[in-house]
Structure 1
Amino acid sequence: MSYRTGRRLAIGVPRGASRPSPIFLGILAVFLISGWMTWARYGSIRLDAFLFVVAGWVLSLCLHEFAHALTAYRSGDVSVVQKGYLTLNPVKYTHTLLSVVLPLVFLVLGGIGLPGGAVWVDHTYIRGRVKDTLISLAGPGMNVVFTAVLVIPFAFDIDMFAHIEFWSVWAFLAFLQLTASVLNLMPIPGVDGGNALRPWLSHDWRRGFDAVAPYGMLIFFALLWQPSINRVFFDVIDRLAELIGLPIFLASSGQSLFMFWR
């Protein structure tokens, strides 16, 4: 998600500003190692699956926020460099509620992938509504790409059952990315999809938008707790999964492996 601030810092571009942070590389290592352990059925398969999905989710969070920051930088906001947003460091994308609480709650509940984090973009130095919109869409666009990459193996005739646990949690991770893509592209105030529309609203509509934005996602998730709305939402997700070739039965199996405490 991207946020607004009214002040720009006059800085240069220090060496290594876009070099991946050690924290990001460590998370990537956990993702690869836990993926191999799941593939090889080494150790506790349920713990391996849990680490694989969580690490993959955090990687997607980093890439989501990096996409926002890189697009903002290329559009004129050089302050993202000093803030460390181009280093893929999840610690830099820190907002207690959005970065930690909500994403972990909904991830652990096992059905919704919500990228957290907060890239504070100085939109006062972004010239043009198109650039403003592209900054907001860059993050969800990364989730869409992530989803597409994860779905690619299912397009080939390979023996999934030889490593069923690995492909199950892989499918579940793809399912989480699909839900994240849909959620972030919805035209809700405070969500990337809504923020992409904001520059095109009239002044009065923007005032109303800004008043609702801090609570937009919370209101939406409160509605998702209603069984009828929840059913419609996941029916849409299942239809999209079917269209892109994501096996729902595998994703469901991966969810069961991920939630090892059940």
Structure 2
Amino acid sequence: MENWNSFLAFELHLIPYVVITLLVAFTVHEFAHAYVAYRFGDYTAKNQGRLTLNPIAHLDPFGTLLIFLAGFGWARPVPVNRFHFKNPRVAGILVSIAGPLSNLLVAAIGIFLFFIFIRAGVFGLIPVAAANGLETFFNLFVRLNIMLFLFNLMPFPPLDGYRIIEDLVPPRIRPKLTQFEGVGIVVFLILVITPLGDRFFYPLLQNGVYSVTDVLVAIFQPILQL
């Protein structure tokens, strides 16, 4: 067991919670991309079966594996055809940001439900082991969704943050960004899977997760008078 834990980003007893969280987080994230694109007139994702809440349609093997090994990852990108948008730049930004925002919304729902359970006294009505397991699940569920929200907003290809930058820059700059996209992906992977990640990605993500969590908690606590 100790040998396995040395290779995984999560302890073995947390893996079921991680799996459930990823099925929800990745599915909602990619569905949000597909839905917003569909609403703006691009049926590409819908025609390829991606406008669905079926997790199988969205999981990426490598991105999912990386979650267990490195603590973060991604799903299979939703195909988007910008030529179907009346206003490609605005629609492109909204489609790109829809995924990360959906993870933030899911995290907020998780915190809200956790406080509802506290308010209703659920944790006192169930066995201690079950209460501890439920609390652990909520903690992981919220943390991973916020992490995916922040991670996907980073300005590196192929993440959503990079796509947003592509649509924000002047049209004449976009082709130049595309030329260096392959190099950007390589640089991104080097930063993520090498010890450099310990100095850049992990501290940034962890601090961001704590900050966003504190904000969400500060919003819901007064509402539920906890």
TM-score in terms of structure 2 length: 0.73
Matches within 5 A, 1:51-62: 51-62=16-27
1:187 deviates by 2.7
Task: Determine the structure 2 residue equivalent to 1:118.
Answer: 77
Note if contact 1:83-1:92 (Cα within 8 Å) is conserved in structure 2.
Answer: no
Structure 1 stretches of at least 4 aligned residues deviating more than 6 Å after TM superposition: none
Note if contact 2:150-2:205 (Cα within 8 Å) is conserved in structure 1.
Answer: no
Task: Determine the structure 1 residue equivalent to 2:45.
Answer: 80
Which one is further off, 208-217 or 176-185? Answer: 208-217
Among 125, 143, 155, the residue aligned to 2:103: 143
Matches within 5 A, 1:105-254: 105=66, 107-109=67-69, 111-112=71-72, 114-128=73-87, 129-155=89-115, 157=118, 162=128, 163-214=131-182, 216=184, 219-224=187-192, 225-226=195-196, 227-229=198-200, 230-245=202-217
Note if contact 2:114-2:138 (Cα within 8 Å) is conserved in structure 1.
Answer: no
Cα-Cα RMSD: 2.6
- The 3 A distance-change label for structure 1 pair 212 and 175 is farther
Note if contact 1:85-1:119 (Cα within 8 Å) is conserved in structure 2.
Answer: yes
TM-score in terms of structure 1 length: 0.64
Report sequence identity in percent: 24
1:171 deviates by 0.6
* Unaligned stretches of 5+ residues in structure 1: 1-45, 247-262
Greater RCO structure (CA 8 Å; 6+ sep): 1
Q: How many residues align?
A: 194
* Unaligned stretches of 5+ residues in structure 2: 1-11, 219-226
Structure 1 Cα separation of the partners of residues 172 and 39 of structure 2: 29
Structure 1 Cα separation of the partners of residues 27 and 182 of structure 2: 22
